[in-house]
Amino acid sequence: MAVHNADIALLLDRMADLLEIEGANPFRIRAYRRAALTIEDLPENVAEMVAAGRALTDLPGIGEDLSDKIGEIIRTGRLRALEEVEAHTPSTLALLTSIPGLGPKRVHALHEVLGIKSLADLEKAARVGRIRDVPHFSAATEAKILEEIEKKRMIERRFKISTAEDFAEGLTRYLRAFPDMGEVTVAGSFRRRRETVGDLDILAICEDGPAAIAHFVAYDEVAKVVSKGPTRSTVMLRAGIQVDLRVLRKETYGAALHYFTGSKAHNIAVRRIAQARALKISEYGIFRGDKRTGGKTEGEVFAAVGLPYIEPELREDRGEIEAAQRGTLPKLVTLEDIRGDLHAHTTSSDGKSTLANMAEAARALGYEYLAISDHSQHAAVAHGLDPRRLSAELDAIDRLNDTFDGFRLLKSSEVDILADGTLDLPERMLKRLDFTVCAVHYRFELDVAEQTERILRAMDNPRFTILAHPTGRLLTERPGYAIDLDRVIEGARERGCFLELNAHPMRLDLDDVHCRHAKELGVKIAISTDSHSTAGLKAMRYGIGQARRGWIEAKDVLNTRPLQELMRLLER
């Protein structure tokens, strides 16, 4: 049975939750959490890395002990250390910490006093008024718990695009191995490269629909077959992702692909144009009356309504139809346009790979440059560099650059924006850098006006170059801090600064809407990976997907430029 990154991360996270509930060593808990985070968001499948003989200890936060435990999960699907903990602390307790206001200590108290072991136990105790009797709890806390349980029921579970991709790749590879299987495409929000995905919609061409469906439901990761017909089936994978498969004929594939890629609003707009032309467009084809006139390809669908092909990432009914009619659709940026990465970390701060290794990996990707942006001193938890250590790193970069031909390491720093808007490095050090990547890492609780002014004051510094991960959000984990991002983008335009689109799948920050706003104001963006290892550099593709959703073209991106042009753009 295939083991996915999300499977490994789930067990490591559960271990951390249970250890925290037990009050274990904080360093041990933090090690499991960091490892889970690294594995879940890695742009490569860890099991395949192990099969290829690659050392997991090269990854951020993975030492020998955790490497062995991950290897155990890959080989057996189990983690004995977790089972030992679960013998005296039920694993279902870990789920309770997802309720806002219930930290590990409070969950421990509820377990000890009331014997609560699950979400169902928690809800039952709250409804009969038992929680308010536990020390440090109240009737208000009890009511809040019930409110949050209800919210949890209503929220659709969504998966980061990287997690969905890991499962989609394994499943489509399995489907393509079936005899006589033709095209296999994952449609829906996955194909539109939304930052999170609720489920997977797969379309396939095969003459023998029932046999293809039988092959699909036999996939070893299927936990439940929800429905099964001759040409369509819905299953639930062990990871909790719902997957729909539709088996189609060649002559209807394009129409179905357009329909199931969506978005719904885009499809409605296309159908309205078709109706004005006395046509009907559905997942079954293009029809004039009862006669099918096309639908084999998506190109035929768009041609039927007088439009050129519209890329999937644009199909949100945000003006793409009108742009297509005017002939002004953007030529979207591609991975091949990228010439370098402007945000990466090394072992000098919280990275796992050395300076030389990061340079080697960037060169292997065909890059012309890579910016080393290790943290500044205020980020103590990330082993941020004080002026002395940063100076030594810059000297090392100079020495390494002397050995390169056609490649250059750029000297940067991820400089903390302090609470008063000043930068976390003295002027003498800022002068030595090629540019800065400036970020907010603390005081997230400031209100909109305070946080916005903090960033604008930082931008007033002529050494400020790029605003890193502009909202500080972590997808599916925490919202961004309060900020007037439109005003910040306008401030960047006025001051000649730039914004980062952080390609890490946990961030994808800027979002697509603000990418487009930046483009409209002429503010260029840097699509950067914020990589903490050589493997992390491969996350660039997620940033490209987000940029394309924001109508970004190569000309809108800093790191599509040759080195000399880039350096001129970075000057303020």
Q: Is the model's pLDDT at 538 over the cut of 70? A: yes
Judgement on whether residues 499 and 472 belong to the same structural domain of the protein: yes
Q: Is the model's pLDDT at 455 over the cut of 60? A: yes
User: How high is the pLDDT of residue 149?
Assistant: 84
User: Which of helix, strand or coil describes residue 290?
Assistant: coil
Judgement on whether residues 374 and 484 belong to the same structural domain of the protein: yes
User: How high is the pLDDT of residue 101?
Assistant: 81
What band does 136 get if pLDDT is binned at 50, 70 and 90?
A: confident
Quick: pLDDT tens for 539-553.
999 999 999 999 999
- Rounded CA-CA distance 217/274 in Å is 37
| DSSP letter assigned to residue 362 | H
Residue where a domain stops, chosen among 304, 326, 348: 326
Q: Is the model's pLDDT at 152 over the cut of 80? A: no
CATH number assigned to the domain comprising residue 113: 1.10.150.110
What band does 1 get if pLDDT is binned at 50, 70 and 90?
A: low
Judgement on whether residues 485 and 509 belong to the same structural domain of the protein: yes
- Rounded CA-CA distance 357/352 in Å is 10
Judgement on whether residues 186 and 243 belong to the same structural domain of the protein: yes
CATH number assigned to the domain comprising residue 498: 3.20.20.140
Q: Is the model's pLDDT at 154 over the cut of 60? A: no
* 282 burial via Cβ count (<10 Å: 0-12, 13-18, 19+): middle
Three-state SS annotation for 58-126: HCCCCCHHHHHHHHHHHHHCCCHHHHHHHCCCCCCHHHHCCCCCCCHHHHHHHHHHHCCCCHHHHHHHH
Provide the residue range defining the domain that includes 38: 5-154
- Rounded CA-CA distance 350/435 in Å is 20
User: How high is the pLDDT of residue 155?
Assistant: 58
Report the predicted TM-score, pTM, of the whole model to 2 decimal places. 0.86
Would you tell me how many other CB atoms lie within 10 Å of the CB of residue 335? 12
* Continuous segment of H or E residues that includes residue 236: strand 232-237
Quick: pLDDT tens for 77-127.
889 999 999 888 887 888 788 788 888 888 988 988 999 988 889 999 999
User: How high is the pLDDT of residue 22?
Assistant: 86
What band does 163 get if pLDDT is binned at 50, 70 and 90?
A: very high
What band does 150 get if pLDDT is binned at 50, 70 and 90?
A: confident
Judgement on whether residues 204 and 312 belong to the same structural domain of the protein: no
Tokens of 371: 């910016």
What band does 572 get if pLDDT is binned at 50, 70 and 90?
A: confident
- Rounded CA-CA distance 17/86 in Å is 11
Helix axes of 512-521 and 540-549: crossing angle, nearest 10 degrees: 70
Three-state SS annotation for 481-513: CCCCHHHHHHHHHHHCCEEEEECCCCCCECCHH
User: How high is the pLDDT of residue 153?
Assistant: 67
- Order of strands, sheet of 291-294, starting from the edge strand that comes earlier in the sequence: 280-282, 285-288, 291-294
**Looking at per-residue confidence, does 10 or 522 come out higher?**
522
What band does 453 get if pLDDT is binned at 50, 70 and 90?
A: very high
State the chain's mean pLDDT as an integer: 94
Quick: pLDDT tens for 205-233.
999 999 999 999 999 999 999 999 999 99
* Continuous segment of H or E residues that includes residue 19: helix 5-22
What band does 380 get if pLDDT is binned at 50, 70 and 90?
A: confident
Quick: pLDDT tens for 401-446.
999 999 999 999 999 999 999 999 999 999 999 999 999 999 999 9
The whole-angstrom distance between residue 562's C-alpha and the CA centroid of its chain comes to 27
Judgement on whether residues 223 and 266 belong to the same structural domain of the protein: no
Q: Are 500 and 470 in contact (CB under 8 A)?
A: yes
Count of domains forming the chain: 4
User: How high is the pLDDT of residue 156?
Assistant: 61
| Parallel/antiparallel/unpaired status of strands 232-237 and 242-248 | antiparallel
Which has the minimum average pLDDT: 47-51, 63-67, 93-97, 226-230? 93-97
- Rounded CA-CA distance 174/226 in Å is 20
User: How high is the pLDDT of residue 95?
Assistant: 79
Q: What is the CA radius of gyration of the chain?
A: 26
Residue 192 makes CB contacts below 8 A (sequence gap 6+) with 261, 262, 263, 312, 313, 315, 316, 549
* Continuous segment of H or E residues that includes residue 399: helix 387-401
Judgement on whether residues 93 and 11 belong to the same structural domain of the protein: yes
Judgement on whether residues 175 and 77 belong to the same structural domain of the protein: no
Residue where a domain stops, chosen among 222, 248, 274: 248
Judgement on whether residues 422 and 518 belong to the same structural domain of the protein: yes
**Residue 151 amino acid letter:** K
Dihedral sign of CA atoms 70, 48, 42, 537 in order: positive
CATH number assigned to the domain comprising residue 310: 3.30.210.10
Judgement on whether residues 94 and 163 belong to the same structural domain of the protein: no
Residue where a domain stops, chosen among 126, 154, 182: 154
CATH number assigned to the domain comprising residue 173: 3.30.460.10
Alpha-carbon distance values, 76 to 7, 11, 58, 63, 514 (Å): 12, 13, 22, 20, 44
User: Which of helix, strand or coil describes residue 526?
Assistant: strand
Which has the minimum average pLDDT: 97-111, 141-155, 503-517? 141-155
Quick: pLDDT tens for 274-294.
999 999 999 999 999 999 999
Judgement on whether residues 494 and 349 belong to the same structural domain of the protein: yes
Judgement on whether residues 271 and 290 belong to the same structural domain of the protein: yes
Quick: pLDDT tens for 317-362.
999 999 999 999 999 999 999 999 999 999 999 998 999 999 999 9
Quick: pLDDT tens for 465-497.
999 999 999 998 888 999 999 999 999 999 999
| Parallel/antiparallel/unpaired status of strands 466-467 and 437-439 | parallel
- Rounded CA-CA distance 511/331 in Å is 19
